[in-house]
C-alpha cells in the first residue's frame, strides 16, 4: 500500500460513520429501538467496515509517524460522511462548509507529501 493505509482507513471509518447516521435516523433510547439497532444489517456492516478501517490505520502507524497518519485518517474520517450526506441525504452545503472541506483536504495533501 505504501503510505495509503491511513487514507484508506479514514475513508472506511468515514463511510461507516455515514452508514450509522442513516441507521440512527429516528433512534431513541428505548428497548425496541435498541433491539432494532442491534438486529439491523447496516449496523453490522458499518461495524465491520469501521473495524477494517481501524486496522488499516493501525497498519499505517507502523510505517509512518503518528503525527502524520492521525490527521490524514481523521481528515478523511470527517470529509467522507459530510460529502456523502450532501450527495445522498440532501444536506446543504454553504460556502463556509465547502471552504472548510477544502482546507481539510489541503492539509491532508500537505501531510501526505511529507
Q: How far, in Å, CA of 90 to CA of 110, rounded? A: 30
pLDDT per residue as tens digits for the range 51-99: 999 999 999 888 888 888 888 888 888 889 988 988 998 888 889 988 9
Grid coordinates representing 91 are 444536506
Q: How many domains does the chain have?
A: 1
Burial class (CB in 10 A: 0-12, 13-18, 19+), 17: buried
Q: Which residue segment(s) compose the domain that 34 sits in?
A: 5-113
Q: What is the mean pLDDT of the chain?
A: 87
pTM of the predicted model as reported, rounded to 2 decimal places = 0.81
Q: How far, in Å, CA of 61 to CA of 55, rounded? A: 10
Amino acid at each position: 500500500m505504501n503510505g495509503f493505509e491511513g487514507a484508506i482507513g479514514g475513508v472506511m471509518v468515514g463511510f461507516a460513520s455515514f452508514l450509522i447516521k442513516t441507521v440512527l435516523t429516528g433512534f431513541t433510547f428505548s428497548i425496541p429501538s435498541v433491539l432494532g439497532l442491534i438486529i439491523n444489517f447496516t449496523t453490522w456492516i458499518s461495524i465491520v467496515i469501521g473495524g477494517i478501517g481501524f486496522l488499516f490505520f493501525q497498519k499505517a502507524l507502523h510505517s509512518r509517524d503518528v503525527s502524520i497518519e492521525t490527521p490524514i485518517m481523521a481528515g478523511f474520517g470527517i470529509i467522507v460522511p459530510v460529502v456523502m450526506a450532501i450527495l445522498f441525504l440532501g444536506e446543504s452545503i454553504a460556502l463556509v462548509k465547502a471552504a472548510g472541506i477544502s482546507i481539510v483536504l489541503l492539509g491532508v495533501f500537505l501531510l501526505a507529501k511529507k
